[in-house]
Amino acid sequence: MGRYLLRRTAFLLGSLLAAAALLFVLLRLLPGDPANALLSVGATPEQIAAARRQIGSDLPLLQQFGSWLAGLARLDLGTSFVSRLPVGPEIAARLVVTVPLTLLAFVLAVVIALPVGFVAAWRSDRWYGLLLNGVSQLGIAVPAFWIGMLLVTVFALRLRLLPAGGFPRDDWAEPGRALTSLALPVVTIALVMSASLIRYVRSATLDVLGSDYLRTARALGSSFAGAMWRHGLRNAAVPVVSILGIELATTFLGAVVVESVFTLPGLGTMLVEGIAEHDYPVIQGVLVVSTFAVLVIGFAADLVQRLIDPRLRAHVGGGRP
């Protein structure tokens, strides 16, 4: 297991390095001059050249990449072209909003999807099982921003029960206000995520319900609940854990849409602002942190799969990834 962890850690670092290089190149291919972020309209060629020297965009690309990579190794994400503030602390301040939003939505989605997906599979021949399956299919097709606007219209504008957007200036100094501000965004993300998760939970449960080992356990005298608990739960959990990792990573990356709808000062909003202002350090910093988070989530999901499935653990010693 130790060798496997070392291999996976090396793979994670290599993937992060490759993603950083690809990100650096793609940003340089975008139209527009990042020096313009420092200048007003109508700047002279001399001012533009001076701005390029200031931010280092006049240097060869390899030298720019090496300098940025060296800073990244020191956990230095650079300085914003626009605000002239370090990007790292700014990202940390935005994560105070994005991380709780993502985790709360993920937990709520799992709480919804697991029982609903199980019932949809267990009673797939009943009307309510078919109804749950149909609702989950409909939920997958509905965009997150549409659900967000619908919730704002109903609960914020008409019923006036929850705020339509924004976040307290003092962040989590008053947890009640902060949680109230995140209520509608969390529900929006959770509804979209749970619709997809219900489908996977239903599929995994149907596979278990039709398995020979579950029928054998029932034939030997086990109750349905006992057979599912002893034999079905772990087997159904293996594919679901993998999907949970993907959904968590997707939610983290997709927070930009929901944060825009609810005007939350999170990582997604920071990325949109950076793109609009051609602020390369901000864009690079946000995307590198997001990429690292996605890789870590995938690593954790893979590790959990191996812990709950003995067949995967047996392959570790055989040299498989």
Q: What is the CATH number of the domain that holds 268?
A: 1.10.3720.10
Give the model's pLDDT for residue 272. 86
Same domain flag for 59 and 102: no
Using CA atoms, how far residue 123 sits from 109, 225, 246, 278, in Å, is 21, 14, 27, 53
Flag whether 85 is in a domain: no
Percent share of the chain, pLDDT over 90: 17
Angle, helices 144-151 vs 175-209, to 10°: value is: 130
Same domain flag for 30 and 152: no
Contact 88, 290 (CB under 8 A): no
Same domain flag for 61 and 102: no
In the predicted structure, residue 45 carries a pLDDT above the cut 50:
yes
Give the model's pLDDT for residue 179. 92
> Comparing C-alpha atoms, which of 244, 144, 139 is closest to residue 185?
144
Same domain flag for 29 and 106: no
Flag whether 261 is in a domain: yes
Collapsed DSSP state (helix, strand, coil) of residue 309: coil
Same domain flag for 102 and 35: no
State if pTM tops 0.75: yes
As for how many domains the chain has, the answer is: 2
Structure tokens at 314: 């047996």
Give the model's pLDDT for residue 104. 93
Flag whether 83 is in a domain: no
| Residue pLDDT, tens place only, 289-318 | 888 888 888 888 888 877 776 666 555 554
Same domain flag for 238 and 306: yes
Flag whether 80 is in a domain: no
Same domain flag for 8 and 150: no
In the predicted structure, residue 43 carries a pLDDT above the cut 80:
no
Give the helix/strand (H/E) hosting 248. helix 233-261
Domain that holds residue 306: 96-313
DSSP 8-state assignment for residue 162: S
Same domain flag for 162 and 69: no
Q: How many CB atoms lie within 10 A of CB 276?
A: 10
Of 84 and 253, the one with more pLDDT: 84
Flag whether 244 is in a domain: yes
Identify the burial level of 295 via C-beta atoms within 10 angstroms of its C-beta, where 0-12 means exposed, 13-18 middle and 19 or more buried. Answer: middle
Same domain flag for 69 and 103: no
Same domain flag for 61 and 124: no
Using CA atoms, how far residue 43 sits from 36, 38, 40, 202, 276, in Å, is 8, 10, 6, 60, 19
* Rounded distance between C-alpha atoms, residue 49 and residue 42, angstroms: 14
> Comparing C-alpha atoms, which of 57, 23, 108 is closest to residue 116?
108
| Residue pLDDT, tens place only, 268-284 | 888 888 888 778 889 88
Confidence of residue 111 (pLDDT cuts 50, 70, 90): very high
Same domain flag for 111 and 163: yes
DSSP 8-state assignment for residue 86: B
| Residue pLDDT, tens place only, 159-201 | 989 998 889 888 888 889 999 999 999 999 999 889 889 988 8
Give the model's pLDDT for residue 2. 72
Structure tokens at 268: 């997604």
Rounded to an integer, the average pLDDT of 105-113 is 92
Rounded to an integer, the average pLDDT of 122-148 is 85
Structure tokens at 163: 């705020």
Give the model's pLDDT for residue 319. 45
Collapsed DSSP state (helix, strand, coil) of residue 98: helix
Structure tokens at 99: 């991380």
Confidence of residue 320 (pLDDT cuts 50, 70, 90): very low
Among 21, 40, 74, residue at a domain's last position: 74
| Arithmetic mean of pLDDT over the chain | 83
Give the helix/strand (H/E) hosting 16. helix 2-29
